[in-house]
Amino acid sequence: RSGAPLSPPAAVSQVTVRDALNQALDEELERDERVFLLGEEVAQYDGAYKISRGLWKKYGDKRVIDTPISEMGFAGIAVGAAMAGLRPVCEFMTFNFSMQAIDQVINSAAKSCYMSAGSISVPIVFRGPNGASAGVAAQHSQCFAAWYGHCPGLKVVSPWSSEDAKGLLKASIRDDNPVVMLESELLYGVPFEMSEQAQSKEFVIPIGKAKIEKPGTHVTLVAHSRPVGHCLEAAAVLSKEGVECEVINLRTIRPMDIETVEASVVKTNHLVTVEGGWPQFGVGAEICARIMEGPAFNYLDAPAVRVTGADVPMPYAKILEDNSIPQVKDIVFAVKKALNI
């Protein structure tokens, strides 16, 4: 039909973040018999968020293990298993509950390789939803990117798209270090385009490499997880006003790819960071400090601006919740402030 939109090539398909994570787990369980999954409701119930759907039926009780509601217990079991040569994937039903197990994550997993002079490696992935969901109040809405990003010995990844989720989870499982993978519950059901390459069994995204989601010339926007989408929406709004934003998807919190951010700031001369976490000692604060200490500082034409969550425990009421999380309008406002327009 004339004028009909061209259908996309068959090589690209729409895949939700949930299915991308499921695909990654399935492929890695199949590829390496040392990999196993444990956590609350991951087996018979198919996972609280259905990330592990079908895996228990396929791989059985030894590879996909339902645990009691005891994060310190099953995180400790997982760390011991990793020290003994297995490659556990430990799911927290939300990262807020990882507080129960933070001694295992930091003292047992993160520090052991250094304290044993390299003789004990802990190849483990701690994964699950992080940051704000919807209507779950303060004890289920915190972002732990800055907490875990603070700790030497850990790698910390924070995916946005389905491609990020699959590639980073596979890289994390194959890594010989403990990796904390901070997912967004609000992205699980969101479909993204995935290329044929991204759907292959050998697709991995290197840990520690950011991605430029949209090139631009006037201002650099840096975000991770769900706010990457908000930045792209803000960039589309600003583009109509003649402002071209460069949007960087960090992908990894630690080690942080500051070189990509620096190169962008040298080009655009302006920086805005966006995150869902609290402002004090946050990921944006770290990026701003690193830019100030490095060569890109001399290229800034205005102070860097941070867009963050509100400095309060997350309220339960929806209108208050919306005002506690960065929205597209907040990013647009920050860009205009940085550009003095």
* CB of 248 closer than 8 Å to CB of 283: no
Q: Is 270 a catalytic residue?
A: no
3-state secondary structure of 212: strand
Task: Detail the DSSP E strand segments found in the chain.
Answer: 13-16, 35-39, 64-66, 87-91, 125-129, 155-157, 179-183, 191-194, 211-214, 219-223, 245-249, 252-254, 271-274, 305-307
pLDDT on residue 11: 74
91 backbone dihedrals φ, ψ, rounded to 5°: -95, 125
Please, what are the domains in the chain?
A: 13-199 (3.40.50.970), 211-339 (3.40.50.920)
pLDDT on residue 2: 46
Q: Which of 7-11, 180-184, 226-230, 289-293 is predicted least confidently?
A: 7-11
pLDDT on residue 194: 96
- Separation in Å, CA 340 to CA 64, 73, 219, 242, 332: 54, 53, 12, 14, 12
Q: What percent of the chain has pLDDT over 90?
A: 96
Q: Is 230 a catalytic residue?
A: no
The predicted-structure confidence for 229-267, as pLDDT tens digits, reads as follows 999 999 999 999 999 999 999 999 999 999 999 999 999
| Cis preceding-peptide flag for 227 (omega within 30 of 0) | no
Which position among 27, 28, 91, 140 bears the catalytic label? Answer: 140
- Asked whether the predicted pLDDT for residue 26 surpasses 70, the reply is yes
Average model confidence (pLDDT) across the chain? 96
Where residue 9 falls among pLDDT bands split at 50, 70, 90? Answer: low
325 backbone dihedrals φ, ψ, rounded to 5°: -115, 140
Enter the tokens of residue 95: 């990262």
- Asked whether the predicted pLDDT for residue 62 surpasses 60, the reply is yes
Task: Detail the DSSP E strand segments found in 1-67.
Answer: 13-16, 35-39, 64-66
Which position among 71, 91, 185, 321 bears the catalytic label? Answer: 71
The predicted-structure confidence for 84-135, as pLDDT tens digits, reads as follows 999 999 999 999 999 999 999 999 999 999 999 999 999 999 999 999 999 9
3-state secondary structure of 284: helix
Please give the Cα distance from 170 to 31 (Å, whole number): 11
pLDDT on residue 1: 44
Q: What percent of the chain has pLDDT over 70?
A: 97
Enter the tokens of residue 114: 């250094």
Q: What is the dihedral of CA 90, 94, 96, 101, to 10 degrees?
A: -20
- Asked whether the predicted pLDDT for residue 228 surpasses 90, the reply is yes
